[in-house]
Amino acid sequence: MPSIANENLNINHPGYNFNNFSPSIVKNKTIALVGNPNVGKSVIFNALSGLKMDVSNYPGTTIEIAKGQLTVGHTVYDLIDTPGIYGVSSFNDEEMVAQRGILQADVIVNVVSALSLDRDLFLTLQLIDLGKPMVVVINQWDEAEKSGLEIDLVKLESALKLPIITTVATENKGIDNIKEIIPNASSLELSPFLAQRAKYYIDLGLDRALSILVLENDGLAKSKCNVVANENCRDEIYNLRRSRVNDIYSDSVRVHAVRYNLSKKLGQLLMHPFWGGIISFLVCYLIFYQLLGVVIAQKLVDITEKRIMNVYYEPGIKKIFAQFTPVKITVNDKSYCFPQGTNKNKPEFNELDKVIQNVPGNEISYNFWYYHDVLAFISNILVGEYGVLTLAVTYLLALLLPLVIGFYLGLSLLEDSGYLPRLAVLVDGFMNKIGLNGRAIIPLILGLGCVTMATITTRLLTTRREKIIATALLGVAIPCSAQLGVVSGVLAASGGAKAWFIYLALVFSMLGISGLLLNKILPGNSDGLMIDLPPMRLPRLDNVLSKTLSKSFSFLKESAPMFALASLVVTIAQMMGLLDFFIEIAKPATQTWLQLPSDPRIATTFILGIVRRDFASFGLTQVHLTPVQAIVAMIVITLFVPCIATVGVMIKERGLKIALTIWLSSMVLAFGVGGVLARVLPLILR
């Protein structure tokens, strides 16, 4: 007989601190959108609430619950978009977050896909058992006929005893009908089997939803209520639900043969061990080498950085500050001094200005000196060699932002087409060897956009072991989008496609070796892959552009303060002489060990990279490198330490000990591998 350890059921368990959804705080009723991954919940949420969300064709993008508002008649509801889940359990972070939203909701809008009712209806029956008023929305209705599915809505509605509507969310069809059907949301009585077993807990004061979850041996629900249950009915309940789903599906859905389905054939081809591998390699080559490395890093950045910022923006803003502060202007190796600023020596500067106008901006140097002077001190911080308004703005807007936009454009195309989950299936065998499964490819690919954000998405992995391995690989062997763009550009300019292929092989080797070692060291095994495969489709231009701009803006918003801080720190270090001191200390490592040029910008690059990983690349774009030096430098900055923001997230997610271990390991690995390559590559690239 089950027992209750504490009958005080008003315990505020930390896992149920659901932001502002506490009934004592929220005045409006709450509607929760609930469904399996890739059924279109986020698209429906956007259409209902008017908010722009990150909509992707792979699981894992909606770890946190998004909130909006929906007006139905004269009633205003709080609308929440829960993560895609296969069941209301607490087996992983997605399910725990979704469970909180479901338990707090007043109405459930269960979104299912017309293409996978045999799978999605299992969650529908579990939601029905929880007793929440709900309606069912069948999305992707237009895809059903193309796939040979004939769904009898009358029979389905009769079997479920719930209001059902159909939608094509990507075309905004049927969205208004959701608002109309919400007042008809209803809850059903428990089956005799569940009612008999749940009665004990309900009599003790638990509500119906928690009673069912306790019966299913859900850890989070038992912890919330401080319940010790001796009876575990999960397997029996799940088997009954599955049997019921099979009966409903066979009675309501007819499957007709389809002569030829291009989407299905293409999807199968992408998962083929040989052809899928060839296609994935070509995709990487087109996006990361041709798009980022050639088109953007060489051609577009040449315009934005060298022809716009270096010629017009930087000289212009320096000229303004030079009017009021001590400055030495060097043109073609000839210097002109203005101890009180050019405004105090207007005639002399007017003559010089005529010369400056005929000289490209990158051949003009403005040196603001007299650091003891407050105005000169401020000018150096703002528009000096490493100034906030010069270096930071130029590299953020003219160099890194175009590369980031290009990366997210490519990633959005892959997301919207349905390619990424197939890539997860393709690489599952390899991922198993490094202690992960194919699902882990999602945070690793997201790491190519931003390692900091990708570290957060490791929550979608099931076990702590998998999360540690994925976090370590992100910190050691995954370059972020801006860094990847610079890498592609430098390699394309210095060594061409051959250098890029060598770099790619080395990075994959380091990724594999690191994963294999971690898999051997850490106890346990990887879980099997369970991932949804949405249909292959042409990406929607509006969705691709919306996600690209949204993610690029997030990068700009997150990066700008760190760039400004790095510029400030380096400028002050330069004026105090500390920068030259650190450069001298770094010379043995960069020049002797890595055999890179003696240019001080290389040492500065590594110093800045500790603050912001993007900075551990920008200085190398201005230095002439041989093919060997280019490969060595790019490998070192790829393996180099995670930036401060990433380390902060690692500490929060994995703990201080693991974060520091990853940071120190990446430092040793970067310079260790770089030194070996500096001596081996010349034997190969003769």
Domain extents in the chain: 3-255, 290-394, 395-684
- pLDDT for residue 65: 67
Q: With contact defined as beta carbons under 8 Å apart, do 257 and 148 qualify?
A: yes
Quick one: average pLDDT of 411-433?
A: 87
pLDDT tens digit string along 387-421?
899 988 988 888 778 878 888 888 888 888 888 88
Tell whether the model's pLDDT for residue 155 goes beyond 90.
Answer: yes
Q: Is the pLDDT of residue 21 over 80?
A: no
Separation CA 443–CA 61 (nearest Å)? 10
> Which tokens is 494 given?
């210095």
Q: Of the spans 272-281, 438-447, 552-561, which averages the highest pLDDT?
A: 272-281
Instruction: Estimate to the nearest angstrom the gap between the alpha carbon of 272 and the chain centroid.
Output: 27
pLDDT per residue as tens digits for the range 208-246 = 888 888 888 877 777 777 666 556 688 888 899 999 999
Q: Could you tell me if 38 and 111 are in contact, meaning their C-beta atoms sit under 8 angstroms apart?
A: no
Architecture of domain 3-255: 3-Layer(aba) Sandwich (3.40)
- Dihedral sign for Cα 103, 108, 113, 117, please: positive
Q: Select from 548, 603, 555 the least CA-distant residue to 399.
A: 555
Banded pLDDT at 2 (limits 50, 70, 90): very low
CA distances (Å), origin 349, targets 124, 359, 399: 77, 15, 31
pLDDT greater than 70 at residue 61: no
Q: Is 643 left (phi over 0), alpha (psi -120 to 50) or beta?
A: beta
Q: What is the pLDDT of residues 125-146, one digit of tens each?
A: 999 999 999 999 999 998 887 7
Q: Which long-range contacts (CB under 8 A, 24 or more apart) does 298-307 make?
A: 298/489, 298/492, 298/493, 300/402, 301/398, 301/399, 301/402, 301/403, 301/489, 304/397, 304/398, 304/399, 304/402, 305/394, 305/395, 305/398, 305/399, 306/362
pLDDT at 63: 55
* Residues 582-637: tens digit of each pLDDT: 878 888 888 889 999 888 778 777 777 776 666 666 667 777 888 999 899 889 98
> For residue 10, how many C-alpha atoms fall within 13 Å in the half-sphere facing its CB?
2
The partner residues of 450 in beta bridges, in order of sequence, read: none
Average pLDDT of the residues of the chain: 82
Distance, CA of 295 to CA of 298 (rounded, Å): 6
Torsion sign over Cα 15, 20, 25, 26: negative
Mean pLDDT, residues 96-108: 89
Residue type for position 574: Q
pTM score above 0.85: no
| pLDDT above 70: residue 464 | yes
If you count DSSP H runs as helices and E runs as strands, how many of each does the chain have, helices first?
32, 13
Q: Say whether pLDDT at 147 is over 90.
A: no
